[in-house]
Amino acid sequence: MLPAMRLLLTALLFQLVIPAWACTLRLAPEEWPPYFYHNDKAVLTGVDYDLLVAILSHAGCALQVEKEMPPARRNVLFQQGKLDLLMAASLTEERRGYARFSLPYRQETVGLFTLPEKLDKFRRIDSFQGIVAQRVSLLAPRLGYYGDDYERALPLLNAEGRRSTFGTFEQGIKMLEAGRGDLIMGDANALRHIARAQNVKIAPLAYIPYRAPVHIMLNAASTTQAQLTRINHAIAQLEQNGALAAIRARYGVN
């Protein structure tokens, strides 16, 4: 093959390959088992991490993992365009102003739990109005959206001093065990994981305050619509062939 022909073919191949891998997206994880956490070998793992790696790989994108940081700091950097994506995002009109949303990649379920010996007392609760009526004390995450029913009950729960908040699920489970609240609310998978790790038995109420799909949220300024299209195509294909379901099942997550 002539040198000029070889050079031309190399250039064409370069043009075909590079765009697929020109997509490098920055993520700052948070220690949040079972979604993101370090295993006993100090390796980052978790259901959302594994789902993200599979999706980006199928989309022809590379993942650049930045240092861990608190949620508030991470959100600021995301809005400044210094991070490209956030996981487990709820789609809101406000966020549409600065973000793009992928197809859903799993469901988020918010649960209510109590200690097993108290379950009979609370098992008939079917709303936050029931919690208010029974004058039940609630432990709730400091940040986050947990459904309209909870939002409507918040003013009265706060006014009567029957809502205490926690910053981490570890802290919340310790507060429940110590009797600081009758019920604890939060991401059902995370609460089960932390309670198991702390050897604390918790029992779920039948009432599910909130269940909704979650998305990969891409920074509108630092990513492109073409990248979102590739990611959505990857999610659709990996759902169809069962790859994402297999990852979720491995962690016991729906």
Q: What torsion, rounded to 10 degrees, do the Cα atoms 84, 86, 91, 96 define?
A: -20
166 and 243 share a domain? no
Do 132 and 99 lie in a common domain?
A: no
Domain count of the chain?
Answer: 2
Do 216 and 100 sit in the same domain of this protein?
Answer: yes
Orientation angle between helical segments 243-250 and 225-240, nearest 10 degrees: 80
Provide the domain limits for residue 137.
Answer: 108-211
Q: Residue ranges of the alpha helices (H) in 60-168?
A: 71-79, 119-122, 128-133, 148-159
CATH of the domain at 234: 3.40.190.10
Same domain for 206 and 113: yes
Residues 61 and 138 in one domain: no
Q: Which portions of the chain are predicted below pLDDT 50?
A: 2-5, 7-21
pLDDT for the residue 4: 46
Q: What is the pLDDT of residue 93?
A: 84
In a shared domain, residues 84 and 19: yes
pLDDT at 85: 96
Predicted pLDDT at 130 = 94
Q: Judging by beta carbons within 10 Å of its beta carbon (0-12, 13-18, 19+), is residue 178 exposed, middle or buried?
A: exposed
Same domain, 201 and 223: no
Contacts with 174 (C-beta within 8 Å, 6 or more apart), sequence order: 198
26 and 98 fall within a common domain: yes
**Domain identity same for 134 and 169:** yes
Asked whether residue 112 falls in the same domain as residue 207, the answer is yes
Do residue 134 and residue 65 come from a single domain? no
Assess if residue 66 is contained within a domain: yes
Task: Render pLDDT for 56-82 as a digit per residue (tens, 0 to 9).
Answer: 999 999 999 999 988 888 989 999 999
For position 58, what pLDDT does the model report?
Answer: 97
Beta pairing, strands 44-45 & 37-38: antiparallel
Give the separation between CA 136 and CA 104, rounded to whole angstroms. Answer: 34
- Determine, yes or no, domain membership for 220: yes
The verdict on 41 and 72 lying in the same domain is yes
Residue 69, pLDDT score: 87
User: CA-to-CA distance for 59 and 49, rounded, in angstroms?
Assistant: 15
